[in-house]
Chains A and B, each alone.
Chain A
């Protein structure tokens, strides 16, 4: 008994060391962002920032107009993508799981195949189409582009959740006077809330971190998402690594916050989207 317990203790220690080593880049990002400009070029590098300096945040991040604008743009795009994705994907996933719909297998295959398409393949024609429709440099264009890949992913993730709603429950609701629509809204949807949250979180995170569509479809600096702004700063900041890491932390922060509070939804959803057809 004690031998097993001791073994498990050592396994825990090993696990902690592996985790720390693996997440070293994340720590290094945070540590560098808290260093003074003079300290980032010390050799060998200091593992801990001393003194801790918030200048990169208080001077660079706050005062840079492009960063604020980029964060705003990304928020609008990510929220818009999440809302549109939910509105389109939730009813579709329900119908493909629980209603009498034709071509279910074919449609699920289509939604899965679509996810194999590289973003560049869509960004290129979209730029031409959007140029003609005057949707380049617009929230509508960027949200549509983000949804193009988010909707099929959302449907593949959501369908298993609706499949696990027993058909008898829906039938019972119909006997009690529900039509297809109210049975969906009042019975199936409430018990599938975890799935809906998963899809919302994944759509939001995906759109927040998205880069290719932003790069291709938002040439106007005022319309660029924060990811594209950050990529631009890597050129203009040069070796101001502490400032660059501070911006990186700000970009990563919403992701990390969402991850910490909603990680049980993310982990299940990511693997479900990848392996269930």
Chain B
């Protein structure tokens, strides 16, 4: 209690400080490579991309550089294009539908596989195969499953009387959107299931037992116990799934390339086409930079919900 802390800069603290500072410098050598690496491979390209978005980049300037600075011109041009807004709407529609489907199904699977029965751990892991499969592979398989004339899905739907005749999923606008949503949700659902299972395991059995004694049925237990207690986990999972789905490129590109027409033209494909199909790297840079607003904006909420989840 009586010991006094030496004020900074006094003679007594100087010798103690010197080695500490030296050690800290050595410690930083562990992190510096990673920081430089991320700065060089992520931050530098991002800033470079923003710089590109303010220039008039022709095919020649891609390699040679020296593109002329045009200010906000590319932005006003891009924001005045219907194609851009169409791509944004399709992106939000596609993401919203896929996240809703994946979340509903993931929740159902999580609740089912949270029950105690033999083999549930193996089954949970097996389901994760859908998530871990390369999207190129699953997109191809879904293309075949959804084939109009010989696809398995049409056969199954016809067998139960849901459709009459062949549905050419990928050739018509609305079915094509549903097709890419189905394929995307199929991949994401097991991931959601695993995230929610972690949350479900934190709910004590005694709460369910108490609810049962009070006369609550299975549905009532789900809405009154499971859902409220899962709320922080749900929010985190939803936001993470939304961000990941919004930036999805592979599945849609491989199944429809944004077609038929522009029916599944999500923003990532639109931006990719601008640059790599039409060699308009400046407008492509504008589109990608604007696209960044959605995931980065949502990540603020994501981090907030992460912290809340950790606290609870």
Contact = CB atoms under 8 A, between A and B. Distances in A.
Given A101-B28, A209-B136, A245 B141 contact: yes
Nearest to B150: A41
A259 B46 CA distance: 33
Contact of B288 (A99, A118, A274): A118
A226 B240 CA distance: 28
B195 A32 contact: no
A172 interface: no
A11 B115 contact: yes
A275 B306 contact: yes
Interface residues of B, number: 97
B81 interface: no
Interface in A107-140: 107, 109-114, 116-129, 131-132
Nearest to B270: A120
A186 to B, nearest CB: 15
A109 B134 CA distance: 28
A40 to B, nearest CB: 7
A125 B27 contact: no
Given A95-B27, A101-B27, A234-B254, A259 B141 contact: no
Contacts of B149: 41, 43
B145 interface: yes
B243 interface: yes
Contacts of B254: 211, 231, 234
B295 A44 contact: no
Contacts of A145: 41
Interface stretch (A53-61, A192-200, A249-257): A249-257
B284 A205 contact: no
A41 B148 CA distance: 11
B136 A124 contact: no
A12 B119 contact: yes
Interface residues of A, number: 94
B174 interface: no
Given A26-B133, A112-B303, A129 B45 contact: yes
Given A118-B247, A231-B254, A275-B195, A29 B137 contact: yes
A212 B250 contact: yes
A109 B303 contact: yes
Contact of A28 (B48, B145, B240, B296): B145
A236 interface: no
A277 interface: yes
Interface stretch (B9-17, B123-131, B203-211, B219-227): B123-131
Contact of A117 (B27, B118, B272, B295): B295
Interface in B125-161: 125-138, 140-145, 147, 149-150, 152, 155, 159
A23 B130 contact: yes
Interface string A39-81: 0110111000000000000000000000000000000000000
A26 B63 contact: no
Interface string A136-178: 0000000011011101100100000000000000000000000
A246 to B, nearest CB: 11
B41 A144 contact: yes
B109 interface: yes
A172 B87 CA distance: 59
10 contacts: A12-B119, A18-B109, A23-B129, A23-B130, A91-B30, A99-B30, A118-B288, A132-B63, A211-B134, A251-B137
